Amino acid sequence: MPGPAWIDDATAAFERHVAAERGLSPHTVRGYVSDVRSLLEHADQCGAAGPGELSTPVLRSWLAVQHSAGASRATLARRRAAARSFTAFAHQRGWLASDPGTGLGTPKVHRALPHVLRPAEIADVLASSEADIAQPPPGRTPAEAAVALRDSAVLELLYATGIRVSELCGLDRGALNLGRRTVRVFGKGGKERTVPVGIPAVRAVSLWEQSGRPVIATAASGQALFLGVRGGRMDPRTARRVVHERLRAAGVRVGTGPHGLRHTAATHLLEGGADLRSVQEILGHSSLATTQIYTHVSVERLKASYRQAHPRA
């Protein structure tokens, strides 16, 4: 049974706001809109007749229901953020006389240290991918050979740059500057940044563009740099599957995906002597605090090495 029309109207207006005016990613927009619809449906069950009847107690009772249902701390934090975004929007639109979302606060979310691959592990992964190209199995078709080139380029570029999987899939031809060895990336909120790229990644991407991409490109490919097997722009799900399969083939921890390669790149940069501000810019973090988690990773790895090597650890 469909809910009240005011829920649909308010949700649609909020979706237009976060998608167009705030420039959030499609994934974040979907999450926020889903959370706000859930909030408004809860408010309706509490007797609200419109968004103007939202109150801090209603917001808190909705979050309490989410907590009782087993939502993680990270999920609750996102839903709290979505609720605060909506009430600020509703107040701005004149639906609310005051903003009840300010009463929710912004508690700190516990952030688990990300798993990172050791230099030897990522070297094994990349070497395995290169060997798959150099010594292909018998009967490999031209399309399969092209996909192998693509997968190698994806792995090399993710590790070389630490870009997000969504950023990688959004790359167009020409984004990689071969002369300067940089790649132009559009991150969260449509923010553009330029990221350095190592020689092996440049070589792998160039080989894919020259010898792999033309094999599976179609009229629908447009300017997309990385393509799926049917010729369309590669989507993040395919990129994640590629990473998991290549890690598995190299005998490396399967739980590490594209975001794990991002963590790995950042950690290896810091361990190699890069300063935190430079890593922040490479990763496209708006806040230095987000980048600082990688210093904790490096410290934990240092402590583990100390405990293993020092006789009186």
- The pLDDT tens digits for 120-156 are 899 999 999 999 999 999 999 999 999 999 999 999 9
Structure tokens at 180: 């300067």
Mean pLDDT of 236-243: 92
Give the pLDDT band (50/70/90) at residue 219.
very high
- For the cut 90, the answer to whether the pLDDT of residue 224 exceeds it is yes
d(CA 169, CA 171): 6
Please give the sequence-ordered ranges of beta strands (E in DSSP) within the chain, or none if there are none.
Answer: 176-177, 182-186, 192-196
Residue 173 lies in a domain: yes
Beta carbons of 55 and 100 less than 8 angstroms apart: yes
pLDDT of residue 303: 65
Mean pLDDT for the stretch of residues 171-185: 92
The count of domains in the chain is: 2
Task: Look at residue 299 in the predicted model and tell me its pLDDT.
Answer: 61
- Write out the catalytic residue numbers: 164, 188, 259, 262, 285, 294
pLDDT of res. 111: 56
Dist. CA 141–CA 55, nearest whole Å: 62
**Band of residue 117 on the pLDDT scale cut at 50, 70, 90:** confident
Most confident range (mean pLDDT) of 30-34, 183-187, 206-210 is 206-210
pLDDT of amino acid 249 = 85
Q: In this structure, are 154 and 238 located in the same domain?
A: yes
**Same-domain check for residues 44 and 134:** no
Alpha carbon separation from 26 to 110, 133, 191, 287 (Å, rounded): 25, 35, 14, 21
Q: Read off the CATH number of the domain in which 43 is found.
A: 1.10.150.130
Burial 186-205 (b: 16+ CB within 10 A, else e): bbbeeeebebebeeebbebb
The answer on pLDDT for 254 being more than 60 is: no
Are 185 and 64 within one domain?
A: no
pLDDT above 70 coverage of the chain, percent: 88
- 238 and 150 in a common domain: yes
Q: What is the CATH number of the domain that holds 145?
A: 1.10.443.10
Whose tokens are 């959030």? That residue is: 24
Phi, psi of 227 (to 5 degrees): -120, 155
Q: Which residue range is the domain that position 125 belongs to?
A: 119-255
- 299 or 193, greater pLDDT: 193
pLDDT at 283: 87
50 shares its domain with 74: yes
**In b/e form, how buried is each residue of 93-116, taking b as 16+ CB within 10 angstroms?**
eebbeebbbeebeeeeeeeeebeb
- State both tokens at 18: 């976060």
> Rounded distance, CA 291 to CA 284, Å?
9
Of 121-135, 154-168, 177-191, 220-234, least confident by mean pLDDT is 177-191
Residue 90 lies in a domain: yes
Q: Assign 278 a pLDDT band (cuts: 50, 70, 90).
A: confident
pLDDT at 205: 96
* Spatial separation of the C-alpha atoms in residues 211 and 177, rounded to whole Å: 18
What is the model's pLDDT at position 252?
A: 78
Residue 137 is given by DSSP the state P
- At residue 206, the pLDDT reads 95
